[in-house]
A and B are shown apart, each in its own frame.
Chain A
Amino acid sequence: MFAYYLDLALRSLKRNKLLTALMIVAIGFGVAASMITYSVFRAVSGNPIPDKSAQLFTPQIDSWGPQQSFNGDGEPPQALDYTDAMALMHAHAAKRQTLIYPVQMTVMPGGDRSLPINAYGIAAYGDFFPMFEVPFQYGRGWSGTEDQARAAVVVLSEAFNRKLFGGADSLGHEVNLGGHTYRVVGVIRHWNPQPRFYALFGGSDFGQPADFYMPFTRALDLHIGTAGNNSCRGKQTARGWDDYLQSNCVWINPWVELDTPAEVARYRNFLEGYAVEQQRAGRFNWPPNVRLRDVTQWLAYMHVVPPESRIALMVSLGFFVICLVNTVGLLLAKFMRRAGEIGVRRALGASRREIYFQFLIEAATVGLAGGLLGLLLTAVGVSGVGLLFEPQIARLAHVDLSLIALTLGVAIAATVIAAFYPTWRAAHVQPAWHLRTN
C-alpha cells in the first residue's frame, strides 16, 4: 500500500510542476536558513567539557569593593589578584585546583630552525591536566612536587611538537623559551575545547589551542607577565614585579574541581570565610562578596555566545515558519483541487484513514525533496560561513552526520505537520457532492 501511495504522490506532484516546485523551494530555503544559522549557534554555544562541566568551578572574590565593580553591577572581578589566588592554592580546600594565565614567549632557534618563533602558552598548576581531561600523546603532565620545586618543565601541544620536533617522541628533549631551557615531559594530543572556558579572562573566547604549557610557579619566578587581560583599580603604585604581585590588579583564572554538592557547599563556605577573614584583617572594607560558578554558569555570565548568532538563528526560524505557512496554503490548494478524485476514491470504498495516509505520504515526499534541496543549500551556506564570521568561529561550524539527519528530519516533520490541516480537509470531502457535480 505504501508503495502505491508513493506512486500516487509522485504522479500528483508531476501533474502540477509549478506548485510542487514552489513548495520544495520554500521548504528548502527555510530549512537551509535555519540549519546554517543553527550550525553557527551550535558551534558557539556548545558545552566545551560536557562530562565535567558540573564539577569544575571558578571562584571569584571581590577584592575591589562594590564601588569599583567591573560593570557597576556589584559583581566581583572576573579574575583573581595574586594575593587571593595564592591564598586559595595554599588553603587547598578542593580536591584539585589550578591557577591559569596565558603567556606569550619566543622559542629560540634550535635544530634546523634559524629564526626564532613566537608561541602562545598557558602557565598553570599540574592539576590542570587531570582536571580538564587533557589527553596525552607522549608522557604526562607535571606533579604537585614539580609545581613546588618550580621545575623547568614544559608540555607541548601536538601541533607545536610537530613544528619543533617533526612530531617525534620528544620526551626529555630541551626547548629554549625566552632564553631559558625547559625539559619536555609531555606532548598532548589535539585538545581545544571551545569556547576556551578555562582562560576567558585574557585572550579570545574561540581560538587556537595553546602551543605549550608550563608550571605557574616557574613562570612567576621568571617574572613573565600575562599575555591576556590585566585590570587594576585605584592608585597604580607598582614599581617592579613584587609590587605588581601585591597590587589589586586581577589577571589570574582560578579553577577548582568539586565532585559532590557537599563539597561545593563546603568550598562556598570556605570562600565566604576567607573573605570574612580578609575583612577582619582590614584588607577588604566591605562585606564578603564571593561567587562560585560552574562551567555553564561561567560561560553564561561572561556572555560568551555572541548575541549576533542568537538573533540570526531566531530570524531564520521566523523565516522557516513563514515558509511553512506558505506550504500549508499551497498544499491546501493542491489537495482541494483533487476533490473530485478524492470523491471517487471515497465512493469506491477508501476510508478516511486511507485518504489521510495517502496525502500525508505525498506531503512527506515534498518534505524529503525540500530537505534534500535544503541540505545542498546548507552545505553551500556553511562553507560560506567563513566569508562572514570570524575564522575561529567559522572553523567550528561544519556539516556532520547529525546536521544532515536534523536537516532532513526537520524538513519532513515540518511538512507533514503543515499537511495536517489540508489533509483533514481532503479526508472530509463529501463524495456524493463531488460525484454529483461531475
Chain B
Amino acid sequence: MAKRSLAALLENKVRPKNSMMELQPILSTLRRHKVILWLLMLEIALICAIVCNGVFLVAQRMQHMNMPSGIAEHELVQIQQAPIAPPPDRYARAREDLATLRQIPGVLAVGMSNQVPFGGSSSNGNVMLSPTQPHQTLSAAEYFGENLVQTLGLHLVAGRALRPDEYVDADVVIKALADGSDKGFPMPMLVSQALATRLWPQQNPLGKLVWLTPKASFRVVGVVATLARANAYRTATAQYSMIIPLHMGADKDQSYLLRTRPQDRQRVLAAAVAALRRIDPARVITHTRTYDQIRSDYFRDDHAMAGILVSVIAAVLLVTGLGIVGLASFWVAQRRKQIGIRRALGATRADILHYFQTENFLIVTFGIVLGMVLAYGLSLWLMAHYELPRLPLSYLPIGAIALWLIGQIAVLGPALRASHVPPVVATRSV
C-alpha cells in the first residue's frame, strides 16, 4: 500500500514536468556530449547550405531549359546541306527545292532559315535607333529566309506577316549597301515582343524604324509574341529577334524547315532527303534532325548539371539520414541503463520516445541556424564567381522543414527501440 502510494507520488511529481520541462535534462545531456553534438550540427549545417543552394541551382537550370522558343517545336524537322560547288543560281535552286519539299505528303508548310532558336550557330545584327548613333543600342538575332511565320508557327500579336512580294534577293541588298545606296530601304521587318518592349517601352512599335547599318533602315510591320535566339546565352536578351524578308538562296549556312504532324516527322524527313537527292544527286546532306533534337542538344549541359545536382542532393540526404540512424542507435545503446532507470522511476514509453525526438529536433534546429548562415554565405560566393542570382529567402524555411522531417524519420527507429527498453535494465549491472 505504502509502496504503491510512493510510486503514485513519484509519478505525479514527474508527470506534470514532462511536457514542458524536458528540455532541461536534454540540454544538460547534450552539454556532456559536446563533440557528437557539434559533429551532428556541423553535418546538418553543411547539408542545409549545400542542399538549399543545390536545389536553387537545379531550379535555375530547369527555368533555363524551359525557356520558350515561340515555335511549334514538336512539328518541325530541319535539313541542312552543303552544295559541292555553288549552283549557277542559288535562288532558283532554293525555289526548286522548296517547291519539291512542299509536294511531300504530310508536309504542312515549308520554310528556309539562316538559323533556328537554340540552334547554336547564330547570326546577329547591331540595332540602332538612329543612323548617326555612334554605338549600337543592342544586338539582336537576324532571321532571314522564306515563309518563317507560317512554318515555325509563330504567333503574331500585332500588325501583319511579311508578304511574298516584299522579299528581296540578298545579293541585291548587299550590292546596294556596298555602293552606298539606300535604295529599297526602309525594308519591312517583324520583331519579337521582347525586342519591341525593350526598344520602345510603352509605345506602339508598329511603324517604328531601326537601322542595322547607317544606310540600312527597317520599318516594323508586325510583332510576334516570342521567338528565341539561336544562341540564347543570357535570359535577359534571349528573346531579342528580328525577321527580315531576304531570299538567301541555297548554301551551306541555310537550312530547310518542314512543318508536319508530330507522328509524321521521321517519314517526312526521309522522304525530303530522297526528294532533294533526286533534284541533285551530288549534293551532301550534312544534318537532318527534328526540332526536339535541336533543343535537347542545346540544353544538354544544363541537363547534365541538373542531373548531377539532383543525384548528389539525393545521395546527401540518404547518407545523412542513415548517419543519424547510426549515431542515434549508438546513443540509445550507450544510455540503456539511464533509460531503464527513468522507466523504473515512472516515465512512460511515450516519454522516452519524445525525449529522443525532442533531442533530435533540438540538434537539427541548432544545425539549421548555423546552416542558414552558411547557405547564405555560399550563395554570396557563387554570385560573385558565377553570375548566379541571390538565393531566394523562401528556400531557407523549405530547407529547414525538409531537414526536420529527415531528422525525425531517421530518429524514429532508434527512439522506438529506446522506448522498449524494460525498466528491469535499471537493476542489472551492465
Contact = CB atoms under 8 A, between A and B. Distances in A.
Interface string B309-324: 1011001101110110
Interface string A31-49: 0010011000000000000
Contacts of B6: none
Contacts, number: 152
Nearest to A339: B334
A329 B39 CA distance: 6
A337 interface: yes
Interface in B181-217: 213-215
B39 A311 contact: no
Contacts of B307: 387-388
Interface stretch (A92-100, A121-129, A136-144, A320-328): A320-328
Nearest to A322: B46
Contact of A389 (B215, B304, B319, B386): B304
Nearest to B83: A106
Contact of B82 (A104, A236, A237): A104
A322 B320 CA distance: 8
Contacts of B286: 118
B351 interface: no
B386 A311 contact: yes
A400 interface: no
Given A22-B325, A235-B214, A337-B330, A243 B178 contact: yes
A118 B284 CA distance: 6
A33 B315 contact: yes
B213 A333 contact: no
A328 B39 contact: yes
Nearest to A323: B319
Interface in B112-156: 134-135
Contact of B323 (A22, A234, A321): A22
A322 B83 CA distance: 57
B62 to A, nearest CB: 14
Given A18-B329, A239-B175, A337 B334 contact: yes
A116 B134 contact: no
B308 A22 contact: no
A237 B177 CA distance: 6
B137 to A, nearest CB: 13
A312 B178 contact: no
A178 interface: yes
Given A337-B333, A437-B430, A325 B319 contact: no
A336 B386 CA distance: 44
A438 B315 CA distance: 41
Given A325-B43, A330-B323, A388-B307, A116 B282 contact: yes
Nearest to A26: B319
Interface string A420-438: 0100010000000000011
Interface residues of B, dominant DSSP: helix
Contacts of A312: 305, 308-309, 312
A329 B36 contact: yes
Given A329-B36, A330-B323, A322 B43 contact: yes
A236 B174 CA distance: 8
A315 B213 contact: no
Interface string B78-94: 00001111000000000
Most buried by A among B42, B302, B308, B309: B308
Contacts of B82: 104, 106, 118
B54 interface: yes
B95 interface: no
Interface of A: 18-19, 22, 25-26, 29-30, 33, 36-37, 67, 104, 106, 108, 116-118, 178-179, 234-239, 243, 306-308, 311-312, 315-316, 318-319, 321-323, 325-326, 328-330, 332-334, 336-337, 385, 387-390, 421, 425, 437-438
Interface of B: 35-36, 39-40, 42-43, 46-47, 49-50, 53-54, 57, 82-85, 134-135, 174-175, 177-178, 180, 213-215, 252, 282-284, 286, 297, 300-305, 307-309, 311-312, 315-316, 318-320, 322-323, 325-327, 329-331, 333-334, 382, 386, 430
20 contacts: A19-B330, A22-B326, A67-B135, A116-B283, A116-B284, A118-B286, A179-B85, A235-B215, A237-B177, A239-B175, A308-B305, A315-B54, A315-B312, A316-B308, A322-B316, A329-B39, A329-B326, A388-B303, A389-B304, A437-B430
Q: Closest 4 A-B residue pairs measured CB to CB?
A: A388-B304, A333-B330, A326-B323, A239-B178
Given A33-B311, A239-B178, 16 more contacts: A25-B319, A67-B134, A104-B82, A234-B213, A239-B175, A308-B301, A311-B386, A318-B50, A322-B316, A325-B42, A326-B320, A326-B323, A329-B36, A329-B39, A330-B330, A333-B331
